[in-house]
Amino acid sequence: MKMEELVREIERLKEERNAIIMAHNYQLPEIQDIADFLGDSLELARKAVDVDADVIVFAGVDFMAETAKILNPEKTVLLPTSRATCAMANMLKVEHILEAKEKYPDAPVVLYVNTTAEAKAYADVTVTSANALKIVEKLDSDVILFGPDKNLAHYVAKQTGKKVIPVPENGHCYVHRKFTVEDVERARRLYPNAKLMVHPECEPEVQERADVIVSTGGMIRRAPEWDEWVVFTEREMVYRLQKLYPDIKFHPARDDAMCIGMKAITLNHIYESLRDMKYKVEVPAEVAEKARRAIERMLEMS
């Protein structure tokens, strides 16, 4: 099918199924263009709470679709392909959390939403990069177990002054790990008037050289403060920002910062997903109930 035809079919099926398409800011441009709601992981979780449709097609990675399902157990949540997964979320195993809890029994377990539902079931509270600082500051403990992103843990430790222990020791995102100090230096040389917006999943030495450190939603909120930016996150973020702000200049810090899981979803997958009602996201009730407590606590605290 040609692109226009696919889009028409998706629109028709959406109506027939009473469905909406929720998409993350890293999705392909053609998916961003047809999404009913686009956002960062916190905005997507919030939106999932008051969705009015029967079916949510989730154009993002699996942990985001799982979060939507946990918050909406009675709704059908579809992930268009099972290959849409987050490599970082898969790094944190339940055994890592149990080992850390044994060493630090009094420390609260704070988990990034980039985790499996099974891991979230062991969290006291979840966080995203948009609210991690606020939530860790509010917790009544100076020692925090934090997983799985070691770089976000570093950022939170530096800003809050608390002892933030990364679980596992080396959890990271391979997309954000690509950015180096050389990329920062090249950006400063090529675009001397630009400011640098950096995602907190980037390495500490890149964070230290940033003008602002923000989630993808934060990038959207802060962009109007300046007229030229170099963007240190997944490459599709530039499409999202440029479309919102045609008069501001945005440069990707690297063209090869691409998340394979996010890019596994195509328009055709979305069409097939609505046509065949696949792939239904299911979370075992016992796991979902525990994970929901941690996610709801996050929504209350931020």
Tell me which residues touch ligand SF4 (CB under 6 A): 61, 86-88, 114, 173, 175, 201, 234, 259, 261-262
- Three-class secondary structure of residue 39 per DSSP: strand
Least CB distance to ligand SF4 at residue 257 (A)? 8
Please identify, among the stretches 65-73, 128-136, 181-189, 284-292, the one whose residues bind ligand 13P according to the rule CB under 6 A.
128-136
CA 154 vs CA 101, 136, 144, 159: distances in Å: 19, 12, 12, 9
Binding mask 106-125 for ligand 13P (x = CB under 6 A): --------x-----------
H/E stretch holding 74: none
Question: Would you say 79 or 130 has its CB closer to ligand 13P?
Answer: 130
Beta-carbon contacts of residue 50 (< 8 Å; ≥ 6 apart) = none
Report the partner that residue 32 touches, choosing among ligand SF4, ligand 13P, none (CB closer than 5 to 8 A by kind). none
What CA–CA distance (Å, rounded) separates 271 from 132?
A: 35
Regarding 302 and contact with ligand 13P (CB under 6 A), the answer is no
**Number of chain positions touching ligand 13P (CB under 6 A):** 12
Sheet holding 163-166, edge to edge: 125-127, 109-112, 143-147, 163-166
Q: What angle, 0 to 180 degrees and rounded to 10, lies between the N-to-C axes of helices 285-301 and 41-49?
A: 110
Q: At what angle do helices 62-71 and 41-49 cross, to 10 degrees?
A: 30
Work out which of 31, 173, 267, 288 binds ligand 13P, going by CB under 6 A. 173
Q: In this complex, which beta carbon is closest to ligand SF4, that of residue 14 or of residue 235?
A: 235
Segment holding 63, helix H or strand E:
helix 62-71
Structure tokens, 272: 């097939």
Crossing angle, helix 267-276 and helix 3-17, to 10 degrees?
A: 30
Residue closer to ligand 13P (CB basis): 38 or 107:
38
- Residue 40 site contact among ligand 13P, ligand SF4, none (CB < 5 to 8 Å, cut-off depends on kind): ligand 13P
Considering only 32, 129, 131, 151, the residue that binds ligand 13P (CB under 6 A) is 129
CB of 140 to ligand 13P, least distance (A): 25
Query: Which stretches of the chain bind ligand 13P, using CB under 6 A?
Result: 25, 40-42, 114, 128-130, 173, 201, 215-216
